Chains A and B, each alone.
Chain A
Amino acid sequence: MTTPQDVAVADALPALFPTVRQRGRIAIFIRRHPTIVVGGAFLLALLLIAVFAPWLGTVDPTALAPARRTRPPSAQYWFGTDMLGRDVYSRVLFGTRVSLFVGFSVAILASTIGLLIGIIAGFVRPLDTILMRVMDGLMAIPGILLAIALMALTRGSVANVIIAISVSQIPQVARLVRSGVLTLREQPYVEAAIASGTRLPKILWLHVVPNALAPLAVQATFICAAAMITEATLSFLGAGTPPSIPSWGNIMAEGRAIWQVKPYIVFFPAIFLTITVLAVNMLGDGMRDALDPRLAKSI
């Protein structure tokens, strides 16, 4: 047993951080990814508006009332009425359905088809050149022009709008996925999977697709935003959603002729479009930062 004189006692070192109370997982997530939370919240609100449009004090968005046309915003008509006396508030709210539906559908459709093309191009060498040159060809045409051309070939309907916009978005997804697949196929774990006798489809599904998904998810949100703008543009130009369906592009197109005297007809759908696209882009930015920390930048 040593006597107390022999013992060297270590100095107590000060704590460098004040003790913090344990935060909840949600609080940590909000602090770490504010853009995802804000973008997601806006998008959720818009989604709820789209779903519950009929119960949010709206009237039939296509009901004509020539006697009450071009009324300014008031307690009865929150966003005013248009040239045919239709309630702009109702039309904008119902237009949310079209925009979000087109945006999400195009994001899903273009990502899925682009993923397939990208994987085939990345794995089947003989098809690579052919597929990618076709994609290059599609990319050479500005997306909006391609969509207008495709719409000119078909009847105006929401489904055709979705297909037309998807076609113009697929090449970018295919390129993104292909470049990812080209690096993934050389990964040691893919080689290890081959060495343990795994079949090609399983390798693709288990080792290639999941690793290519993160950049794809980010790209999909940007496609969603671009698709909503393109849809509005097409409708504005009269090449998109048929006029019988209220969409933001249609409302703006109809209000365009008198926007100098009655600016609110254009203003409200434009604000909604801007906020929606901003929300989706914020979500995409936040997701990119969260999924790929190397690209992260603080705002």
Chain B
Amino acid sequence: MALLEIDRLQTHFGTPDGVVRAVEGVSFNIEEGETVAVVGESGCGKSVTAMSILGLVPQPPARIAGAIRFAGRNLLDLPESEMRKLRGNDIGMIFQEPMSSLNPVLMVGRQIGETLRLHQRLSRRAAESRAIELLDLVGIPEARRRVREYPYQLSGGMRQRVMIAIALACNPRLLIADEPTTALDVTIQAQILDLMRDLKHRLGSAIMLITHDLGVVAEMAERVVVMYAGRKVEEAAAGDIFANPQHPYTRGLLGAVPKLGCSLEHSERSTLAEIPGLVPSLRKPIVGCAFAGRCPKATQLCRELAPAVEEKAPHHQVACHFAERKFPT
């Protein structure tokens, strides 16, 4: 049994202008201790999927269907009080904006300690000494002094380290990192990714890494789920995705990554590929393949019938009518 099983998850938002189908039938699993990257462009439903797992999508206006099984329990059926025990304790979350994810009027030690006091019933004193250990763990020098500092006294990278410390405070079995490095500059990004990899080996948490940065995926992930317009279009081992992308959207994404040292002027081969067209509106039901409007290979079949997510090669699922089947015979 996988640690997290997402089964045909649908998250729709009722708005005055109609229903927005933010997540439309997404299924994937995360095994204990595994790092799974969820990639896709902005608005493809990555963050909403994460929020749905934590039960942070307010219902109403949203409606959620399908199943999210964490360690065998369907989170969608759990009452709010049980979910509260789960959040921060079994499932930790790292947010996108380290600059504003800390309360400016509380000392960072207190903010790390709150989670501990909440879930592990530690005393104030014990929570503070554990906070110092955690700051040490995430590589903040002079942790003893830093716990008594306020967020404005820390740089962006340090704040993200504090956020990681908060997320890891209770040794969660699953860590959801929603674009943890997007707001940071490249050198700090590398440090934070190193830190996350290191901590994963030490603590053994599974990580669901939400990102649109394929460089981060290559660095971190074991498995990749590619999302488009609220749907899963491809899922495979990370190496497989880069070496052998099957879905035209995945290929487009990979083609749109600039390569270091290539010249835009002289060599045609190194020109950045773009994916023409726009993401379809999520307000209308999409008939056929969601990517059909932008796909170079799309045919009448694609526009009329939505492809199922099928295993086209061992451990490689693709939702495309034209993906080749490749099974070793």
Contacts and interface: CB of A to CB of B under 8 A. Distances in A.
B100 A187 contact: yes
Contacts of B115: 196-198
A261 B153 CA distance: 64
Which residue among A193, A202, A206 has the maximum number of chain B CB atoms within 10 Å of its CB? Answer: A193
Contacts of A206: 103, 106, 114
Nearest to A190: B103
B270 to A, nearest CB: 39
A193 B319 CA distance: 37
B87 A197 contact: yes
A197 B80 CA distance: 10
Nearest to B99: A188
A202 B100 CA distance: 19
Interface string B159-181: 00001001100000000000000
Contact of B92 (A188, A196, A198, A211): A196
A108 to B, nearest CB: 21
Nearest to A184: B103
A193 B101 CA distance: 9
B85 A197 contact: yes
B106 to A, nearest CB: 7
A33 interface: no
Contacts of A210: 103, 105-106
B105 A195 contact: no
A187 B99 CA distance: 11
Given A189-B100, A206-B103, A211-B104, A196 B88 contact: yes
Contact of A194 (B56, B100, B106, B119): B56
B95 A192 contact: yes
B229 interface: no
Interface string A177-213: 0000000000111011111111100100011001100
B89 A191 contact: no
Interface centre among B96, B103, B118 (most CB of A within 10 A): B103
B93 interface: yes
A188 B100 CA distance: 6
Nearest to B96: A188
A194 B103 CA distance: 13
Interface residues of B, number: 28
Interface in B114-157: 114-115, 118-119
A53 B146 CA distance: 49
B165 to A, nearest CB: 12
Contacts of A191: 56, 95, 101
Contacts of B106: 206-207, 210
Which among A187, A192, A193, A211 has the highest number of chain B CB atoms within 10 Å? A192
Contacts of A187: 100, 103
A189 B101 contact: yes
B102 interface: yes
B97 interface: yes
Main secondary structure on A side of the interface with B? helix
Interface in B46-66: 54, 56
B84 interface: yes
Q: Which of B85, B101, B106 has the most CB of A within 10 A?
A: B101
A242 B103 CA distance: 48
A60 B104 CA distance: 52
Nearest to A192: B101
A37 to B, nearest CB: 24
B87 A196 contact: yes
A164 B184 CA distance: 54
Nearest to B89: A197
A233 to B, nearest CB: 37
A195 B56 CA distance: 7
B103 A197 contact: no
A197 B86 CA distance: 7
A196 B166 contact: yes
A189 B106 CA distance: 11
B166 A192 contact: yes
29 contacts: A188-B95, A188-B96, A188-B97, A188-B100, A189-B100, A191-B95, A191-B101, A192-B93, A192-B101, A192-B102, A193-B114, A194-B87, A195-B88, A196-B115, A196-B118, A196-B166, A197-B84, A197-B85, A197-B86, A197-B88, A197-B89, A197-B115, A197-B119, A198-B115, A206-B106, A207-B106, A210-B105, A211-B103, A211-B105
Interface of A: 187-189, 191-199, 202, 206-207, 210-211
Interface of B: 54, 56, 83-89, 92-93, 95-97, 100-106, 114-115, 118-119, 163, 166-167
The 8 A-B residue pairs with the shortest CB-CB distance in the complex, in nearest-first order: A196-B88, A197-B87, A197-B88, A188-B101, A195-B93, A197-B84, A189-B103, A210-B105
Given A194-B56, A195-B56, A197-B86, 20 more contacts: A187-B100, A188-B100, A192-B95, A195-B87, A195-B88, A196-B88, A196-B93, A196-B118, A197-B83, A197-B84, A197-B87, A197-B88, A197-B89, A197-B115, A198-B114, A202-B114, A202-B118, A207-B106, A211-B103, A211-B105
